[in-house]
Chain A
């Protein structure tokens, strides 16, 4: 399926993918990162977050991996990372938003002139 068919992304999906762009993260870290990236505007509940994660896993945009335990309780945490397809979609959406911004800037500049 053409990547463009998946655009535009919902704000939550965009932020989740963006949060995973630098590297794998577990659920709580994604939640915090989304809040930071959106300057506290988007606060995901666990239900919304994991509903989105489930959908992104099914679509093959992200992948689940075991993150080794850090506190010695032998319980591996699940982390999520972008697949190549997920990254392509994120890049396409970023480019789309960039174009929108560019067009809006041009039009505003014309009006001011």
Chain B
């Protein structure tokens, strides 16, 4: 190799430095060796300038592709990482449910009603958690936060648009409409919260499938559908906010509800199999809603609802409220299990990206002919 070839070789080595580190470590020395081999051959035929100009011409495009590919890999590694979750991830996942519990107890200690400052503190803390979850690439522990946001959006935005025509239609559909037994009507109305949440989540999965830049997310969900269940699990927190509204002397029961939900998430995040993951979610939701049913049964007669009790006997009302909690539990279990059932279907035949098929044994005559027929 003469001096000019050596110089070009060094220049080429310099160009390689612009590739992403992972790419460089994997292919850098090979690329350098191939370039030097090409250089030796080109020197013999006086084509050195052509060779180097070709490298220079293709360098920006190759560099761009390598960096884009690297970004995709990093995104895959951050999002929904299947590696064992760290302790702070478990704590952050529980945080969505533990924060309301802490504020509920603080409110109980300070006064009989939750002061405004604690409500503001709770909202700020949850917003901070959402931002942290987004900042950390929406790992598994951040998914329930999305579910809660989805629940809020559906209740306060989606239902406001859909409700005016949907509820009357539902009333016509159910014989007697609001004249139907109140419990039956309530069961249906609870379904109006939960079933659309499931459908919206599935619509998101479909969008992930259809939009190529989001297909990585689709693959992650397809590998483990319990991720959708985990997302929807967060909406239970919002349901609790609504269900416990207007209750007094309920802090112990409300806190227990939050605690069971937090334990469900912790169990999910620490579990290694899909079956145990979904079992933890179902367990957390069941214990939480059963606590609410028992709590309401005990607390309803103690509530100061004079106007309401003129129309509804406390004894009837306590049964109504408790049974309603159980019917809501039924919807929740259905919605949590629905995506996970998809895990039972046979897996797709597509090989997992990055894991090649088994190599074939090459034979002398196995070349593929491309001569036109």
Contact = CB atoms under 8 A, between A and B. Distances in A.
B345 interface: no
A83 B361 CA distance: 9
Interface residues on A, range: 35 or more
Interface residues on B, range: 35 or more
A69 interface: no
A54 B366 contact: no
B66 A63 contact: no
Question: Helix, strand, loop or mixed for chain A's interface?
Answer: helix
Contacts of B351: 60, 85
Contacts of A84: 357-358, 360
Given A28-B37, A49-B34, A51-B62, A59 B353 contact: yes
B358 A83 contact: yes
B370 A18 contact: yes
Contact of A46 (B31, B69, B362, B373): B31
B307 to A, nearest CB: 62
A61 B354 CA distance: 10
Interface string B51-78: 0001101110111011001000000000
A81 B362 contact: yes
Nearest to B53: A45
Interface stretch (B22-30, B171-179, B270-278, B327-335): B22-30
Contacts of B349: 1
B238 interface: no
A58 interface: yes
Nearest to A87: B360
A101 B360 contact: no
